[in-house]
Amino acid sequence: MTGFWRGAGTQTRAAMLMLLALALAALVVPALAHTDPLAIGDALALRLLPPLSVDVTHHFHLLGTDSFGRDLFVRAMLAGRLSLAVGIAGSALAGAVGIAVGAIGGWAGGMLDRTAMAVGDVLLAIPRLVILLVCAALWPPGATMVITILVLTGWMGVARLVRGEVRGLRARPFVEGAHAMGASPARVLWRHVLPNALAPAIVAIALGVGSAVLLESGLSFLGLGIQPPQPSWGNMIADGREMIVLAPWIALAPGIALILTVLSCTLLGDALRDRLAGDELETMRARS
């Protein structure tokens, strides 16, 4: 990790710091805030304050207040807990399923492999959002449901990547060597093949966090994901939709936190990918 930091460009460092700051703020801000982000107080005095304003009780509102007088910054950070958790869990679990399917399929080959890849192709042929919508329509909404369908619709890319790597590694001399030394197939897969096959999967998972956060916000925006009063970035934006003409900051402020998160994930994923591509070039040069 320190090595990654030292080798990272300014852009990557900014992305890492931004994610860290957002995660910290999501944990700390709602706990330290002087107002309850869910409770409705003196709505008439506090409602619809624009960003950067000071209210009658001399409290500062960085992003303004909503139509119930709740502080939008505190609410956005509280929403960040759930949105980030769902995004990370969704992408990581989808990645884990993808690694398992890809590794076993690529290692075993045959019918198992072909079936798994065919199922993946079918799921890839439908736009992910459409499957998400159908599932969200049919099962009761909530965080668990969103994570489940993120996993069900998100494992195929990683599975394909890992399968390709595993198949490539199967014939390499060090794998043959491990077999010859008497290691069981499971041990060879686990100790020798998998560690060498994971790099592209890790990039895909990092990039996947951003798109998982985006998809969650989309479902919640449509009212099919996280349900109010529990705030998520998506349902906060939906909340502000009616007031867009009078108080546009209610809808737009939570979006800024969302965009910063997705942007940071994309930049980090890109940097990881460039780094891995660089490493591969290095090893290729070293070998030739």
Partner 1 sequence: MRSALRQLVVAIALFWVVLSLTFFLVRAAPGDPVAFLAPPAASAPELARLRAALDLDAPLPVQYARWARDVFEGNLGTSFVAHRSVTSVLGDAIPISLALGGISLLLTFVIGVAIGSVQGAHRGTRVDSALTVVTTTIYAAPSFWLALSLIALFTYGAARLDLPSWLRLPAFGVRDPAGDSGVVDLVRHAVLPVATLTLVGAAGIARYARTSVVELLRLQWVRTAVAKGVPARSVHARHVLANALPTLLILFALALPGVLAGSVFVETVFGWPGVGRLMVSSIFARDYPVVVGATVVYAALVILANLAADLALPLVDARRRT
- Residue numbers at the binding site for partner 1 (CB under 8 A): 121-122, 125-130, 133-140, 210, 214, 217-218, 221-224, 234, 237, 240-241, 244-246, 248, 251-252, 255, 258-259, 262-263, 266-267
Q: Which is nearer to partner 1, 86 or 169 (CB)?
A: 86
Nearest-approach distance from CB 161 to partner 1, in angstroms: 17
Distance of closest approach, residue 229 Cβ to partner 1, in angstroms: 20
Contact (CB, 8 A) for 227 and 141: yes
Residue 120 burial by Cβ neighbours in a 10 Å radius (0-12, 13-18, 19+)? buried
Which tokens hold the place of 179?
């077999």
Task: Give the residue with the Cβ less far from partner 1, 178 or 262.
Answer: 262
Bridge partners (DSSP) of residue 61 are: 53
The DSSP letter of residue 192 is I
Which is closer to partner 1, CB of 80 or CB of 188?
80
The CB-of-164 to partner 1 minimum distance in angstroms stands at 18
Q: State in angstroms the smallest separation of the CB of 282 from partner 1.
A: 18
Nearest to 252 by CA among 69, 80, 72: 72
**Smaller CB separation from partner 1, 35 or 264:** 264
Specify the residue, 103 or 226, whose C-beta has the smaller distance to partner 1. Answer: 226
- Kindly report the three-state secondary structure assignment for every residue of 125-191: HCCHHHHHHHHHHHCCCCHHHHHHHHHHCCCHHHHHHHHHHHHHHHCCHHHHHHHHCCCCHHHHHHH
Nearer Cβ to partner 1, position 194 or 208? 208
**3-state SS class at 8:** coil
Which secondary-structure segment (H or E) carries 15? Answer: helix 10-32
Which three-class secondary structure state does DSSP give residue 69?
coil
Q: What minimum distance in Å lies between the beta carbon of 244 and partner 1?
A: 5
